[in-house]
Structure 1
Amino acid sequence: MAKSIQVLLAIVAWYGYEIWQMDIKTAFLNDCVDKNEYDPCVYKKISGSSVAYLMLYVDDILLIRNDVKMLEDTKAWLSTQYSMKNMGEAFYILDIKI
């Protein structure tokens, strides 16, 4: 498992953050991601007391936040930008149970 995934899962466990998963339905059709890229891209944003991580792994997105309202807003915005499938709370990543 990629080190960045391990680190993010440790942060989620330590701070009790929410972790939700979305799937980009047309990632390969729109060439949004490099099909040969298997290292996840991780983005972090801090605004006041709100912390957010977004991890893109091939065509899956993990959204990690300490603020459920902002998490829902982020999911809604992503859905307006791309054809997305909301997978709900993440229970597995790379066939590993969280």
Structure 2
Amino acid sequence: MKVDGSIEKFKARLVIQGFRQKEGIDYFDTYAPVARISTIRLLVALAAIHNLVIHQMDVKSAFLNGDLDEEIYMKQPEGFVMPDNEHKVCKLVKSLYGLKQAPKQWHQKFDEVVLSNGFVLNQADKCVYSKFDDSRKGVIICLYVDDMLIFGTDQDQVDKTKKFLSSCFDMKDLGEAEVILGIRIKRENNGISISQSHYIEKILKKFNFHDSSPVSTPMDPAFKLSPNEGVAVY
């Protein structure tokens, strides 16, 4: 999908049957750290105050980058079974989509790569990384699974970070940030505005309410409310 919600291309992906995994044998942790929405809002506010450059990047097939700690086997994919070796199975050396631990292993991989390059992990939000030199020039990376915002003191710092990330992962450069998690980011003369009008319009179209007339109140002001006289449920 494109940032505006329209279809960019169709693709197929091999997905493993993670529902057949057994906890304590095939996987242990299933968490997927993501940046808080309040963190993203705070970083955008800082960008407005300090006139930071905001760019966006996307990791292609992010979960395929994760290294596995467990020993996992899978059946040969249908249509790709090796002749005369039908009885054999595949041993995974990398993470696949569908694995219970795939999100955790991806974040662990990204964490190791970024920290080894001199970035510092934010202790308040484990998905925020920063790197500044003595002249106070640098960048802040905000990660949400495979979407990331890069806040830089100047374009050169952002470009250096993009080059580093692209050398480690297969990345898609989305340029200046426009939409992140349904939030539209728009830079204006007097600062930066964020809104979810794009997301709201998408929801209205989904439920066929996009032609409805707008009102200033959430419900009919003439509607009379009555106290709840029902029986309490315990």
What is the TM-score of this pair, normalised by structure 2? 0.38
Pair 1:79 & 2:166 matched: yes
Pair 1:10 & 2:45 matched: yes
Q: CA deviation at 1:86?
A: 0.4
After superposition, residues 1-98 of structure 1 pair within 5 angstroms as: 2-31=37-66, 32-33=106-107, 41-47=127-133, 48-98=135-185
Q: CA deviation at 1:40?
A: 6.8
Q: What is the CA RMSD across the aligned residues, in angstroms?
A: 1.8
Corresponding residue pairs, total: 94
- C-alpha separation between the residues in 1 aligned to 2:46 and 2:139? 11
Would the aligned equivalents of 1:44 and 1:52 in 2 still touch at CA under 8 Å? yes
**Runs of 5+ unmatched residues, structure 2:** 1-35, 67-105, 109-124, 186-234
- C-alpha separation between the residues in 1 aligned to 2:38 and 2:150? 17
- C-alpha separation between the residues in 1 aligned to 2:153 and 2:179? 19
Q: CA deviation at 1:46?
A: 2.2
Q: CA deviation at 1:23?
A: 0.4
What is the TM-score of this pair, normalised by structure 1? 0.85
Structure 1 stretches of at least 4 aligned residues deviating more than 4 Å after TM superposition: none
**Runs of 5+ unmatched residues, structure 1:** none
CA distance 1:97–1:54, change in 2 (3 Å): same
- C-alpha separation between the residues in 1 aligned to 2:161 and 2:45? 22
Would the aligned equivalents of 1:55 and 1:61 in 2 still touch at CA under 8 Å? yes
Q: Percent identity?
A: 40
Helix, strand or coil at the partner of 2:141: strand
Larger CA Rg, structure 1 vs 2: 2
| CA distances 1:10-36 after superposition (whole Å, capped 9, x unpaired) | 0111111100000000211223238xx
Helix, strand or coil at the partner of 2:64: coil
Task: Report 1 or 2 for greater relative contact order, CA contacts < 8 Å, sequence distance ≥ 6.
Answer: 1
